Structure 1
Amino acid sequence: MGLTQDQAADLIGVNRGTFKAWDRGRRPRDPELLQVISEAFETPIPVLWPTDENPIAAESLRALRDLQAAKAADQAAHGQTETVLESEAPKATVAADAWASEQPAEATPPPVTGTTPYGLHRQIEATFDGKNDVSPGTTPPARRGRRLLIPAVVSALAVAAAGTAIATAGGEDTPTRPATPIAQTGPTAAERERAAQQATLQQAKERGDYDQAISIAARLNDTAATTGLRQTAAGILARRARSAANRGDLPLATSRLDKAEKRYGQVPEIEVVRRRIEAIKNAREKRAADRKRAEKKRAAGRAKAAAAASRRARSQSTAPPSSSAAPAPPSPAPSTPQPSPTPSPTPAPSGGGSGGGSKSGGGSSSGGAVDPGLY
């Protein structure tokens, strides 16, 4: 795992962009390539590319990758610093040698008291001590010394700064940013346990196991979650009890309410359903009382009618028989049709012999007029 991205990409045989995509979590499709990468980094494949089902491993891997990236950035910065200091160190050495060659032969070298700015100050003081006597017609040695010391002091300061920077950058015991151990970047055992319990709590809520969810929330000391879960579970049982009450099964509704109150405590939903059950009971009692009063009223009416019939029967049996029957009511006369008018008989003609008399007699017998010639 100590390889850089470029080295790892060259080792595997892919370009850097592809490797960076893999390093950000994208998993290669080729199984053989997966095995090669796992063997190159000496790390199992599930650790290199964890699945979504293991968020703790994914978080640890991201922390490890961040740490490696920071370490690589520090190493690159240290390398740049060392390169700059190595390029500036020869220049400072050449300037110091030039200053030493320009010094007069009779001048005593200044005492070396250190490489700090305070030591350089002491060197300058030692150089100027005893050099203030100037004879007529000569150049003051102090002025000449100042002209020589100005570039020398600058070069010495550059050398001192370069040495300090090199010592700081090259030292292994005082790095610019101390590397954090991998064990400290990932989650602790307590954090992993808490994350696992929270995941179990969410799964219990999704499948409706509120008893397990409440127990896990209590172990996590999450008072708000515990209270919310208790209210939710009690509300579910209260709704079931209300459905049973609406169906008319009041004992089942009451038992469900008692169970919810015993498990999850008192909640407003339970009180609402209890009032609903009491209202149903009162309505039932009122209807029963109304039916009882109506039945009593009907029974009293039947008894009264029976008593009246009995009194009428006794009065009829003790009354004397009547002498004449009651006249029957006249029946209506049937309607008779009017007779049609009969035509008057026509008179027979007079005259004739015996034959005519017989005919007349025949006519008399038939109801006609009497012939006067017969007498």
Structure 2
Amino acid sequence: MRALTWHGTHDVRVETVDDPEIINSRDAIIKITSTAICGSDLHLYDGVIPGVMPGDVLGHEFMGEVVETGKDSTLKKGQRVVVPFTISCGGCFHCKIQQFSACENSNPAEKQDMSATLYGHPMAGLFGYSHLTGGYSGGQAEYVRVPYSDVGPIVVPDHLEDDKVLFLSDILPTGWMGAENAEIQPDDTVAVWGCGPVGLFAVQSAIVMGASKVIAIDHYPNRLALAKQMGAETIDFRKTDVREALMEMSGGIGVDAVIDAVGMEAHGFAADNMIDIAKQKIGIGADRAKALKQAILAVRPGGRVSIPGVYGGMTDKFPLGALMEKGLQVRTGQTHVQRYLKDLLEKIEDGTLDTTFMISHRLPLEDAARGYKCFHDEQNDWTKVVLKPDMEMAK
């Protein structure tokens, strides 16, 4: 089959690789109909996530048609399914309390030491996202093997086209959980750092959850315009002092909750961020946490800090004193996707949530390398790229 493979920093290629096979009785094989490039994939593209090996198949946002099942799978051939990026067994302690992204069994035992050394506990398995998370082949391919297919995938009705439901795989529940972790109250003012796909869905989710005011922070005009269309107020951080603006927009008290949807590769020319950029480039493993630091300083005392943005290593000059002295609550983590699928699918069906506005480009799988480069280099115009294995290349 054809698949998008990683070969180093800014080097991804569509190649012919072995077809996936049923390995476990709970497996299923999915023929991919749509798969997306995620902002988290750009961390792999930039070479700042450890444990990625040449030839690894990327991609963790995908859906498709069931073509083969193991004897213990609950799926049936021909069903259309969206597959969560988190691989979860359904039976361990964490899965039973719906902390699916902390599954104890989905990361193979022989790979658990890598992430346990770095984080204190092994990570759960994730599709297409380094050997820290199990080394599973991802879905930017024609076919993919789905372990624990009786737990993860959600069957979607035929009347909902791929574009409406694809993002149930990751960024929609991630944005929703980011807003949920902010514990939004009806009179809250909420600030969201980053108007990439997760940030925009966090903005949409916060509005749906009833926040009184949502403020979106970025520097790309098109992305800020998308946030404004949804009802958010906006700040261009390259033109405005963010903390001063937030104090003014919150009546001088500070915002009630902040959501960091930027993560480990924050933009900005502040001295501390430029130092982190330099460290990241030479492989020290320093996350660029400028957005998170700014959010902690901007939120009001007693406020809430939600971190759906991806971090992978360490960060310097962290405002730990502000975190403690202000009495802030912090919630973060990889998304417990399976927890949210049924409810979010209902919200898509009844029109409460829209996902199609996010898509700026649709490309054939064979053009995936160009999709990565443009999504990376032209973020104002390339807001979200969907790859279609069956789409033909333009002549």
Structure 1-normalised TM-score?
0.18
More strand by share: 2
TM-score by length of 2: 0.17
- Ranked by relative contact order (alpha carbons within 8 Å, sequence separation 6 or more), the top structure is 2
Q: Which has the larger radius of gyration?
A: 1
Indicate the structure with greater helix content. Answer: 1
